[in-house]
């Protein structure tokens, strides 16, 4: 009973005290970044993150995760990689208010959009490069896509985030039952849905990720098998300066003649394996701070 009361009190404090204070600090910062030229906003946030993040507890988590993925790297190499990661994560934050401008200015090169211009498709991306571009892949292909999102813990900032992406010409579904219904409707209507495959999902199935069995989202595999829909991996890469490339890769080769559970496992494993390859190629560009392997 005491634990229940404590939980309810914390929820009230978060909703009426913590969240409004955090939002009051975050919203003016967002508008300042939006007013600034995109290059200044990107490099300013990158520099601040580079200087401040190593002083936080998150830095230890990032380095711990890097050591899981790259056990042969030296401490010096891990420290350097962590610093690069923080700078690029800061850049990503600084670029968020300018995503549409970056596209209009030609800072985003695209490849393979023709593959998803017609018919139903499942798009799977990861938190790499600047993942905000993933929310524009459908629109850039001339489609109104549906995307699954995990709500921000702060309810005020979450509402702002949803409003901010209204110009993405897309439908957004909160992770869970609503997402399942929304995605099913989209696919049945021959449309496009997008989700990420690199986050921990406690109710997911366990597949290897850098050699460790970890709960992984299986929704893409389940939908692909149920409705015979192709899966396309969508990669976002950052290049020197503020240049990006978003590539819709070839259809994922879905295994045939397997029992449903084995097929779901194999497809999910293939998705995780491809994301691994992206990370190995450009490790500084992945979001290392999230708990991909749990606590």
Per-residue model confidence as pLDDT tens digits over 181-206: 888 899 999 999 999 999 888 888 99
Place of tokens 């690069």: 84
Angle, vertex CA 268, rays to CA 262 and CA 270, nearest 5: 100
Please name the helix (run of DSSP H) or strand (run of DSSP E) that holds residue 95, with its range, or none.
helix 75-95
> For residue 5, what are the contacts with CB-CB under 8 A and spacing of at least 6?
none
Closest residue by Cα to residue 212 from 197, 225, 203, 200: 200
pTM score, two decimals? Answer: 0.91
> Which three-class secondary structure state does DSSP give residue 138?
helix
Per-residue model confidence as pLDDT tens digits over 28-77: 888 899 999 999 999 999 999 999 999 999 999 999 999 999 999 999 99
Per-residue model confidence as pLDDT tens digits over 248-287: 999 999 888 899 999 999 999 999 999 999 999 999 999 9
């Amino acid at each position: 009973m005491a634990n229940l009361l404590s939980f309810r009190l914390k929820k009230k404090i978060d909703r009426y005290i913590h969240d409004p204070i955090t939002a009051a600090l975050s919203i003016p910062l967002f508008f300042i970044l939006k007013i600034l030229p995109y290059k200044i906003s990107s490099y300013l946030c990158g520099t601040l993150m580079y200087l401040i993040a190593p002083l936080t507890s998150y830095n230890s988590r990032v380095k711990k995760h890097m050591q899981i993925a790259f056990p042969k790297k030296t401490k010096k190499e891990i420290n350097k990689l962590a610093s690069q990661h923080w700078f690029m994560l800061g850049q990503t934050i600084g670029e968020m208010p300018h995503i549409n401008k970056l596209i209009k200015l030609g800072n985003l090169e695209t490849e393979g959009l023709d593959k998803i211009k017609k018919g139903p498709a499942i798009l799977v991306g990861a938190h790499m490069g600047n993942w905000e571009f993933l929310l524009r892949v459908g629109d850039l292909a001339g489609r109104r896509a549906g995307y699954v999102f995990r709500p921000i813990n702060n309810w005020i900032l979450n509402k702002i985030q949803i409003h901010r992406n209204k110009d993405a010409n897309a439908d957004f579904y909160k992770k869970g039952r609503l997402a399942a219904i929304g995605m099913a409707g989209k696919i049945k209507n021959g449309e496009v849905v997008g989700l990420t495959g690199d986050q921990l999902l406690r109710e997911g199935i366990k597949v290897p990720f850098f050699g460790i069995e970890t709960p992984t989202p299986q929704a893409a595999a389940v939908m692909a098998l149920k409705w015979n829909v192709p899966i396309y991996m969508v990669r976002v890469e950052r290049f020197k300066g503020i240049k990006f490339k978003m590539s819709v890769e070839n259809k994922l080769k879905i295994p045939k003649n397997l029992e449903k559970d084995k097929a779901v496992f194999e497809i999910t494993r293939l998705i995780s394996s491809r994301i691994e390859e992206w990370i190995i190629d450009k490790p500084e560009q992945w979001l290392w701070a999230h708990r991909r392997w749990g606590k």
